[in-house]
A and B are shown apart, each in its own frame.
Chain A
Amino acid sequence: MSSKESCRNELRTAIRQLTDRCLYSASKWAAEQLVGIEQDPAKFTPSNTRFQRGSSSIRRRFRTNEITSTPPTGVAYVSTPVMEEDEVIHGDFYLLAKSYFDCREYRRAAHVLRDQTGNKSVFLRCYALYLAGEKRKEEEMIELEGPLGKSDAVNRELVSLERELSSLCKNGMIDPFGLYLYGLVLKEKGNENLARKVLVESVNSYPWNWSAWSELQSLCTTVDILNGLNLSNHWMKEFFLASVYQELRMHNESLSKYENLQGTFTFSNYIQAQIAKARYSLREFEQVEVIFEDLLRNDPYRVEDMDTYSNVLYTKECFSALSYLAHRVIMTDKYRPESCCIIGNYYSLKGQHEKSVIYFRRALKLNKNYLSAWTLMGHEYVEMKNTPAAVDAYRRAVDINPRDYRAWYGLGQAYEMMGMPHYALHYFRKSVFFQPIDSRLWIAMAQCYESEQLHMLEEAIKCYKRAANCNDTEAIALHRLAKLHRELGYPEEAAFYYRKDLERMEAEEREGPNIVEALMFLATHYKAQKRFEEAEVYCTRLLDYTGPERETAKSLLRGMRMAQSSFPSMDVEHFHP
């Protein structure tokens, strides 16, 4: 990776250029990363480093391996030259247009720049027009909403913008920012292939525009598409890849990229949040919680990604922490989908599902493609026993992203609740197809097969086997496998699974009726097999427990001793040569 200093310099220039073109969110992102680079403590006064102090103790606690800032071997990073500004002296018109733009008077800004020909002016004019169109589109969406859900609101500037930008592009008179805008327009118009090409060109010539990377990322829906991109190696590409991997559910790859990047951008809140999200997907809740706590300490008014934090708090049933978080985000920004989602989670935890639904609905009003809100709302409807509504909500989630296994799983559950296990199987099959490594999904499917209406035990066994193979944390699968085999009359297999289950429970130091059951079965089984040595071991262990099993074990032992004493010679000779 490039040295910290060069990154820093590149970012500083980029921020100025991005701000100049009113690409605010990109410049915000760049600035966050700039500050995230670890400062050379020798050069700076404590006041400078205060921002970065954080509670690095916690961070260190969870950093398993100290990351070095050396780049992966064999990767040569191209250093893209920082772009020269074409208009060093800003035209007066540009200044006026930019002020209009900053006041969100987009059409006025565009009008001021109508006769300017410089790259920068052309970009700002087009960008302003684009935003004006977007703004109008949003308004029309509400005005035009039809009874059947149709709103044919479109950005009416797209056609003319596309025409202008494509002719500029053809004549080679377009800069990377123009390309970014062109890609954006193409994407909106549905021309994804060309959009991808244009965006790649944009990021290759000007890599610091995170907005361009994000648009590109939204167009990379499969690994194949990603591999087909011709991207030059810049450190910004690492950010991009990490983010794409996360979207493509390659969480471990994503995590390692981020951890690598942390070598340079040690204090980046962005990276920290992304790591938290990746770990959340890997269900490492403890660590996620710590990371988010740390993040909030440094950046208390952050709303982005806080919905993930609220999910963790929800799973861990931290009532007060969740309410505190909800309070904080609502004070910061009430009308953010994330805020609504957090409040929805809080009400759900409190068991007030109607209110929870209200807030999820609000979140969806703000962003109708907010995937997790649809799924969470589905869960709420399930709690409220309004299954048709739940099914509808889940189905919307699935239609937004067909790979959302949680929603498929929710659909399956809903139908199972309605007593339609056969119908539910279709959905469970979908969910395990998209997430074959989650034991909970396999177990749900197995239980569906086991239901009294279907009673397809062979299939249930197959599912439980899959579940047992993918790290079943709740240890349901082994126990069920043993039981099912016993019921179906396969004592050998049943013994095998009981033994495995027992080993596991011992390893995890679990207690409970399952242990007794396993011991009991094994004892009787081995006795029937005339393997008295083993049977005796299990019987002796049973003696540690109270209850009727203890008596049974005693009588078993007695019986075995009798049997052994009557035919001692053979057995003893066989087992103890």
Chain B
Amino acid sequence: MAGVLKAPGAFAITPHKVSVCVLVQIYASPSQISIPFPFSSVSQHNRLGLYLLALTKSCDDILEPKLEQLISQLREIGGLLDHWLTDHLTSRLSSLSSPDDLFNFFNDMRGVLGGPDSGVMEDDQVILDPNSNLGMFLRRCILAFNLLTFEGICHLLTNIGIYCKEAISSCSSYELRRLDDSGNDLESLSEYENMDLNLVFKKINEEMEARKRATERVSFHLHLPKELSTLVEDIEVFADPKSEHNDKGRESSSYSSSGDLLRDVDLNGGVFLRTNWQIQGYLMEQADAIEKDGSSFTLNAFELTLRQLQKLAPELHRVHFLRYLNSLYHDDYFSALENLHRYFDYSAGTEGFDFVPPAGCNSFGRYEIALLCLGMMHFHFGHPKQALEVLTEAVRVSQQHSNDTCLAYTLAAICNLLSEIGFSTTSGILGSPFSPMTSVGTSLSVQQQLFVLLKGSLKRAESLKLKQLVAANHLAMAKFNLTHVQRPLLSFGPKTSMKLRTCPVTVCKELRLGYHLISEFCCEGSTMTTDGAFSTAWLKNLQKPVGSLVLSQDNSSRDNSNPFLFCTQPSSIPGSVLQLVGSSYLHRATAWEIYGSAPLARVNALVYATCVADASSSSDAALVHVKLIQHLAVFKGYEEAFSALKIAEEKFLSVSKSRILILKLQLLHERALHRGHLKLAQQVCDELGVLASSVTAVDMELKIEASLRHARTLLAAKQFSQKSGNAVVGLPHALASLSYCQSFNLDLLRASATLTLAELWLSLGSNHTKTALTLIHGAFPMILGHGGLELCARAYIAEAKCYLSDPSFSVSDNPEVVLDPLRQASDELHVLEYHELAAEGFYLMAIVFDKLGQLEKREEAAASFKNHIMALENPQDGEDPLSNA
């Protein structure tokens, strides 16, 4: 009831737990030999032990398995023993027919446990250590039983009856068949031993009928054997609608089945929740899964599970939080808002796995966490203004309640918010006097405020030893350094020199610092949930040979690029840490991209895709793919890029507002420009513009890019008419950009600017060729090492031109000096489909051959030249990747 927290970990005795007790008794029967009676080998014995451990710990569902599920699992692990195990289990369960039987049963259980002096037990004797996992489980069961009232015992007895009856009704035909095989197993059906077979069937028949009428459908989980289902009139077994949506193979079975189980809720009895610990574990796992890849969940299937859980455990408020997450990632604003408020109203933020009640009973509740979540929710839905308002309140309330942890997280969230949203929108809010940054003063620009905030939140996180947050802050810092041009903080007046520069060293340092802490975290050891996850994985592996073969093939064909994915072991590193590691790699890739080393960027992206892709959110994974494909386009040409794009498209079909689509348009645009298809380029540009201002919101960044590309298209159009502008006018611009690149450490750009400069010198006349050549040779290492195809080709052609226009250079003496770069260039340009430049290359080549007197080769080059010119002038192509999309 209101304001009173129930003791966590309440443990109720249920039929399933009685079953486990029976199995534990088999596992640890006190016998004198090292391998107890029914087992034939140690490994068999261990297998059962492992299975029991998994049963008590796994958190893959909210409900305890039915007897029939238990039996089928036993069949898988038991091997030869399976008959014996199931028979023993069913007969033991059905022998419990009066309350006194239960009393005796639990008395027997006590015998399984070793005494407190278990150290002195005889060798070779298997006795359960009371402090082992199974021993604890048994003790809890015994305790829970002893606490039951007589009414409670009566209910347990009824429930065991229902539990057995359901199983028998679904696998009775199996039992009956065996009954025919060997007539000595009669006692396993003791409940029905006095009835003849017809009567059994009639009874089952009736039961099914009643159920059918009651729920107007047949419960799906009763996988009826064919023989029986033909006896019971036509039963429609539902085709599972969810598995169709969910056919990506990942855990689809567990989600859809939990949805189906809801249909049983009305059938009273037989549905038992797992222990509180297991359910919390389940909820945490699901929360992780949603946050990782919300779109793989179907909204309704999971909602149904949650509703069922809520019905079964109305005081378990965590459910509301999961509902919030579910609706958040399915973009249901109102439901998300409602459930968020409901969760915090009920729990005051103090319920959940991670909550340790403070020693001095703090009656305040932790509503600041509600504010933090609400702020993040607004941010998610694209309401930065509201998000900032709420987060501001969160800062105030956490200060008020001196919840430093929450404060640190809130500050980090604000930093994230500030760095994500456009600055123009925030200025109004941040300037207001009640922002959290009042101490700093309002004269600072938003960037500066962000910097101050980042520093502050980093310091706070460090002092609170929140390792993940520290790492995240380092990453944010790196990102900040990466994207912002530094200028002296607090500069006043016009006299201070505006020293603008970027600092790759700092970025690198931040990234390293972040990574260091993450690796430290990994050594810290696993938490309780991962323990449960192991058990869950173990149970899932049981079913592997049955159904996953198809899926695995499917999977491996789908992503050839990362064979690691498929054979990932359940790792002991929590998903959130892996995500941080992943984003650090992403940052590295971006950093290298900006500072001009494409190979290193690619390596980092590849590391990300192979190592942490399965832990990352799907949007991050998509981003990495985008990067890799862009890289392909620049270095391997469009052909390969488009084929890779196709794979990526299939893989990230579900990601909404896909970056993949944008990438596709970008590639198309680039290619059209290179090919000289200006109309197509314009069209693609327009499409990009449309994408930018979609129904939901205007993506400013995208819009800017669209207009930028538009400008480039126009520029390309202009270049045709006025091929060469005044070179002298161009010179200062090139020089200026050179110096900027130098101060911002943009090495690749600098190289390309140098190249442009050289081209300009070249066009000024033949007496400048020496200068141009020196410049080109200076830039060559950078260009060849890191530059893309286009840049390389341009450099080669410029070099050849230099030689050719140098009056002191004679072609016939040294033809390879010119021909080699030209060949290289034309090859690369062919891949790139850059017709204009390719034509130029072939033109030059033809001239050279002409001079050398190699007429045949000259004609060849001339033909290629003609081809490219034709392609440039008739921009029509059969295969258009846009049309088949």
Residues of chain A whose beta carbon lies under 8 Å from any beta carbon of chain B: 140, 143-144, 146-150, 152, 154, 156, 159, 162-163, 361, 364, 377-378, 381, 386-396, 399, 411, 415, 418-423, 426-427, 452-455
Query: A411 and B316: CB pair below 8 A?
Result: no
A149-B314, A149-B316 given; 10 more Cβ-contact pairs under 8 Å: A143-B149, A147-B7, A152-B271, A381-B2, A388-B365, A389-B2, A396-B2, A419-B396, A422-B371, A423-B367
Whether A148 touches B7, Cβ cut-off 8 Å, given contacts A163-B213, A393-B2, A411-B345, is: no
In the complex, chain B residues whose CB is within 8 Å of the CB of A159: 210, 213-214
Partner of A422, one of B269, B315, B389: B389
- Report the nearest A residue to B8, measured CB to CB: A147
How many angstroms from the CA of A320 to the CA of B151 in the assembled complex? 46
How many angstroms from the CA of A93 to the CA of B12 in the assembled complex? 45
- Report the nearest B residue to A147, measured CB to CB: B10
A50 to chain B, nearest CB (A): 47
Query: A387 and B390: CB pair below 8 A?
Result: no
Query: A146 and B12: CB pair below 8 A?
Result: yes
In the complex, chain B residues whose CB is within 8 Å of the CB of A386: 3, 363
Query: B370 and A423: CB pair below 8 A?
Result: yes
- Residue B808 at the A interface, CB < 8 A? no
A174 to chain B, nearest CB (A): 18
Query: What 0/1 pattern do residues 341 to 367 of B give for CB contact below 8 A with A?
Result: 110011010100000000000011101
- Residue B61 at the A interface, CB < 8 A? no
In the complex, chain B residues whose CB is within 8 Å of the CB of A391: 345, 348, 365
- Residue B155 at the A interface, CB < 8 A? yes
Partner of B393, one of A146, A422, A455: A422
Query: A148 and B268: CB pair below 8 A?
Result: no
A353 to chain B, nearest CB (A): 13
How many angstroms from the CA of A115 to the CA of B1 in the assembled complex? 46
How many angstroms from the CA of A277 to the CA of B152 in the assembled complex? 43
Query: A143 and B396: CB pair below 8 A?
Result: no
How many angstroms from the CA of A427 to the CA of B10 in the assembled complex? 33
- Report the nearest B residue to A422, measured CB to CB: B393
Whether A149 touches B2, Cβ cut-off 8 Å, given contacts A143-B149, A143-B152, A419-B396, is: no
Query: A423 and B390: CB pair below 8 A?
Result: yes
Query: A150 and B341: CB pair below 8 A?
Result: no
Partner of B312, one of A150, A156, A377, A421: A150
- Which residues in window 734-777 of B have CB below 8 A to A? none
- Residue B718 at the A interface, CB < 8 A? no
How many angstroms from the CA of A156 to the CA of B266 in the assembled complex? 11
A133 to chain B, nearest CB (A): 12
- Which residues in window 192-227 of B have CB below 8 A to A? 210, 213-214
How many angstroms from the CA of A388 to the CA of B151 in the assembled complex? 35
Residues of chain B whose beta carbon lies under 8 Å from any beta carbon of chain A: 1-4, 6-7, 10, 12, 149, 151-152, 155, 210, 213-214, 268-269, 271, 273, 276, 311-316, 337, 341-342, 345-346, 348, 350, 363-365, 367, 370-371, 374, 389-390, 393, 396-397, 400, 434
Query: B396 and A154: CB pair below 8 A?
Result: no
A405 to chain B, nearest CB (A): 16
Query: A420 and B341: CB pair below 8 A?
Result: no
Whether A377 touches B2, Cβ cut-off 8 Å, given contacts A146-B10, A159-B214, is: yes
Query: A395 and B345: CB pair below 8 A?
Result: yes
Whether A399 touches B342, Cβ cut-off 8 Å, given contacts A148-B313, A148-B314, A388-B364, is: yes
In the complex, chain A residues whose CB is within 8 Å of the CB of B397: 418-420
A160 to chain B, nearest CB (A): 8
- Report the nearest B residue to A191, measured CB to CB: B216
Partner of B342, one of A140, A162, A395: A395
How many angstroms from the CA of A150 to the CA of B350 in the assembled complex? 20
In the complex, chain A residues whose CB is within 8 Å of the CB of B273: 148, 150
Partner of A148, one of B1, B149, B316, B396: B316
- Report the nearest A residue to B3, measured CB to CB: A389
Query: B345 and A426: CB pair below 8 A?
Result: no
- Report the nearest B residue to A399, measured CB to CB: B342
Give the dominant DSSP class at A's interface.
helix
Query: B400 and A156: CB pair below 8 A?
Result: no
Partner of A149, one of B315, B337, B350: B315
In the complex, chain B residues whose CB is within 8 Å of the CB of A453: 393, 396, 434
In the complex, chain A residues whose CB is within 8 Å of the CB of B152: 143
In the complex, chain A residues whose CB is within 8 Å of the CB of B434: 452-453, 455
B206 to chain A, nearest CB (A): 11
In the complex, chain A residues whose CB is within 8 Å of the CB of B213: 159, 162-163
Query: B371 and A423: CB pair below 8 A?
Result: yes
In the complex, chain A residues whose CB is within 8 Å of the CB of B210: 159, 163
B283 to chain A, nearest CB (A): 13
Whether A143 touches B345, Cβ cut-off 8 Å, given contacts A148-B6, A388-B365, A419-B397, is: no
How many angstroms from the CA of A193 to the CA of B3 in the assembled complex? 37
How many angstroms from the CA of A361 to the CA of B2 in the assembled complex? 10
Partner of A387, one of B269, B313, B364: B364
- Report the nearest A residue to B151, measured CB to CB: A143
Partner of B374, one of A156, A423, A427: A423
A568 to chain B, nearest CB (A): 48
In the complex, chain B residues whose CB is within 8 Å of the CB of A154: 268
B145 to chain A, nearest CB (A): 15
Query: A388 and B155: CB pair below 8 A?
Result: no
How many angstroms from the CA of A378 to the CA of B214 in the assembled complex? 39
In the complex, chain A residues whose CB is within 8 Å of the CB of B400: 419
- Report the nearest B residue to A153, measured CB to CB: B268
How many angstroms from the CA of A426 to the CA of B393 in the assembled complex? 14
10 contacts between A and B (CB under 8 A): A143-B149, A144-B155, A148-B316, A149-B316, A162-B213, A393-B3, A419-B396, A420-B371, A420-B397, A427-B341
In the complex, chain B residues whose CB is within 8 Å of the CB of A163: 210, 213
How many angstroms from the CA of A26 to the CA of B202 in the assembled complex? 42
How many angstroms from the CA of A148 to the CA of B151 in the assembled complex? 19
Query: A392 and B346: CB pair below 8 A?
Result: yes
How many angstroms from the CA of A421 to the CA of B394 in the assembled complex? 11
How many angstroms from the CA of A387 to the CA of B315 in the assembled complex? 19
Whether A392 touches B370, Cβ cut-off 8 Å, given contacts A146-B12, A149-B314, A419-B396, is: no
In the complex, chain A residues whose CB is within 8 Å of the CB of B350: 388
Query: B214 and A395: CB pair below 8 A?
Result: no
A370 to chain B, nearest CB (A): 13
B801 to chain A, nearest CB (A): 66
Query: B2 and A392: CB pair below 8 A?
Result: yes
- Report the nearest A residue to B12, measured CB to CB: A146
How many angstroms from the CA of A162 to the CA of B312 in the assembled complex? 24
Q: Which 3 A-B pairs have the closest CB atoms?
A: A389-B3, A147-B10, A149-B315
Query: A388 and B342: CB pair below 8 A?
Result: no
How many angstroms from the CA of A452 to the CA of B365 in the assembled complex? 23
- Report the nearest A residue to B370, measured CB to CB: A423
- Report the nearest B residue to A144, measured CB to CB: B155
How many angstroms from the CA of A226 to the CA of B371 in the assembled complex? 40
Whether A150 touches B313, Cβ cut-off 8 Å, given contacts A386-B363, A391-B348, A422-B389, is: yes
Query: A423 and B393: CB pair below 8 A?
Result: yes
| Max chain B Cβ within 10 angstroms of own Cβ: one of A381, A411, A418 | A418
In the complex, chain A residues whose CB is within 8 Å of the CB of B314: 148-150
Query: A395 and B346: CB pair below 8 A?
Result: yes
How many angstroms from the CA of A392 to the CA of B4 in the assembled complex? 10
How many angstroms from the CA of A421 to the CA of B374 in the assembled complex? 13
